[in-house]
Amino acid sequence: MRSLRLFALLMVVLLTLLAPLQVLAVQPDEVLADPALEARARALSKELRCMVCQNQSIDDSDASLARDLRILVRERLRAGDNDQQVLAFLTARYGDFVLLNPRFSPRTALLWLTPLGVLLIGALTLALAARRQRGSETALSVAEETRLAEILQRREP
């Protein structure tokens, strides 16, 4: 019984220690020697979508295509490109889909405006329903008021 408790305690400790570990997709051979360039590369990698994983940045993905894109970003930075030039190069090559947060343009307007449209339609529907409910309230007729007064008088001592 004691050994079972000890085993359970060791498992809990082991799982607790392993839980916060994060798997980093960036391999040591990809890391740039210049810390400033590496920080820029990591920031750019967080803005770019992995074409395989689709809802992951290339910084988080361990897919081979994501690795190729991370290396490409670092090569462009080493060549002297600024961040906008790197993003422009990648969007020219892969389209706006490579960006995790696509820019607003005529091609992406529907993507950006649909949530706003749904919100406006919902607000309009609620406003019309409230207005309709307020309009349906009618005053009591004279006979109804008299009857209500009689009922209330009977209840009072």
Query: With helix as H, strand as E and coil as C, how does the chain read?
Result: CHHHHHHHHHHHHHHHHHCCCCCCCCCCCCCCCCHHHHHHHHHHHHHEECCCCCCCECCCCCCHHHHHHHHHHHHHHHCCCCHHHHHHHHHHHHCHHHECCCCCCCCCHHHHHHHHHHHHHHHHHHHHHHHHHHHCCCCCCHHHHHHHHHHHHHHCC
Number of domains composing the chain: 2
| Residue at 38 is within a domain | yes
Q: Do 88 and 115 lie in a common domain?
A: no
CATH number at residue 59: 1.10.8.640
Global pTM exceeds 0.75: no
66 and 25 in one domain?
yes
Q: What is the average pLDDT score of the chain?
A: 82
Question: Each residue of 102-153: pLDDT tens digit?
Answer: 778 887 788 889 999 999 999 999 999 988 887 666 777 889 889 988 888 8
Q: Are residues 70 and 139 in the same domain?
A: no
In this prediction, residue 22 carries a pLDDT of 46
Same structural domain, 15 and 81: yes
Q: 12 and 61: one domain? A: yes
Q: Is residue 104 situated within a structural domain?
A: no
